[in-house]
Structure 1
Amino acid sequence: MPKRLLQRIMPDPEQLKANKNLRFLNRWLQDGNIWRLNRRAAAGAFAVGLFIAFVPLPSQMILAAIGAILLRVNLPLSVALVWVSNPLTMPPLFYFCYRVGATTLRTPAEQFSFHLSWEWFVTTMEHIGPPFLLGCLICGLISALVGYVAISQLWKFSTLRKYQKRRKLRR
């Protein structure tokens, strides 16, 4: 079941390889391992994508693609999973990361309001930066581990169930 569902939502590798905007990546896109969909590739893609989703940078999809290529896990799945942190979920997600980091460092959580300016960013990051970044790292590692184990176990369970059904039909 997970394999069929994932195959349905993944883009076609040939279309991506033929895309003129991605030609400079052709050498890396030729690796068959980043397009395979098996238990290791899917679980690894979940780990990469969920970890990168907690990286507070605007280039999450690029980082997920690089991680997938380096670790030779499923590329489309890794890139798609960074959208766990999208413009709607980012504020509560990153606030949660800040609270995790503040709790871990045993510092009181500070109240702050958002102002779109460079001065605000620099001043605020001096105070909330360390707990925020530590919280992002902790949440990223935990979500990557949980995602890897959950998909791996779900895949095992699905394969075992399919095997048992086949075995039952043979009798």
Structure 2
Amino acid sequence: MPKKFINRFLPSHEQVKSQKALKMFGALLHDPNLWHLNRRSAKGAFGIGLFFAFWPVPFQMFLSAGLAIPLRVNLPLSIATVWITNPLTMPPIFYSAYLVGSTVLGTEMTAFQFELSWSWVIESLNTIGPAFLLGCFICSVVAGLIGYFGLDWVWCWSVRNAWKNRKNMEDVK
């Protein structure tokens, strides 16, 4: 069942509550719905986490937590899902987003060399920025929807199979 599988990888609510960065949410973290894992809370958290995973900002976890709290979906899953984009996966994911944006805008892809400087960031916003940001937006919406409906489908499929197996075991007895 997805619940058992997901719970193996999630931190406990005590671990999440103890994070200094999440102290700004204060008493909001005491809502038990944020820690309960069921189909509704899991699919919402997964969709939110995937939505924010494609945003090219350094504080994706805060954005994900900030939306998970008022929507009352599973907070640890929402925060953990954002880490699909990590230092190893960011280059191919963001390059793919740039490809999507360039294709949608119908612009020619320009070659660029990454530099770790503020001037490069400002210059890139004018050249590759529109295609990149549009691609990130499209990918984030699509990934969020696929995550939401995909996890819902997997959850229902898993429950149906569990009931079917249980029925088969009863028939064997």
Question: Do they superpose with TM above 0.5?
Answer: yes
Q: How much identity, in percent, do the aligned residues show?
A: 48
Would you say 1:129 and 2:129 are equivalent positions?
A: yes
Could you tell me which residue of structure 2 aligns to residue 33 of structure 1?
Answer: 33
Could you tell me which residue of structure 1 aligns to residue 115 of structure 2?
Answer: 115
Q: TM-score by structure 2 length?
A: 0.91
Shift of 1:29: 0.7
Unpaired segments of 5 or more residues in structure 2? none
Contact 2:16/2:76, CA 8 A, preserved across alignment: no
- Listed one character per residue, the Cα deviations across residues 60-106 of structure 1 (whole Å, up to 9, x for unaligned) are 11111112112211110111111111111111111110110011011
TM-aligned CA distance change 1:16 to 1:118, over 3 Å: closer
Could you tell me which residue of structure 1 aligns to residue 88 of structure 2?
Answer: 88
Shift of 1:20: 7.3
Q: TM-score by structure 1 length?
A: 0.92
Shift of 1:23: 4.5
Could you tell me which residue of structure 1 aligns to residue 147 of structure 2?
Answer: 147
Q: Which amino acid aligns with 2:151?
A: I
Equivalent residues in 2 for 1:157-168 (5 A)? 157-168=157-168
Equivalent residues in 2 for 1:11-90 (5 A)? 11-17=11-17, 19=18, 21=20, 22-90=22-90
Shift of 1:134: 0.5
Q: Which amino acid aligns with 1:99?
A: L
Q: Which amino acid aligns with 2:7?
A: Q
Taking only aligned residues, the RMSD between alpha carbons, in angstroms, comes to 1.5
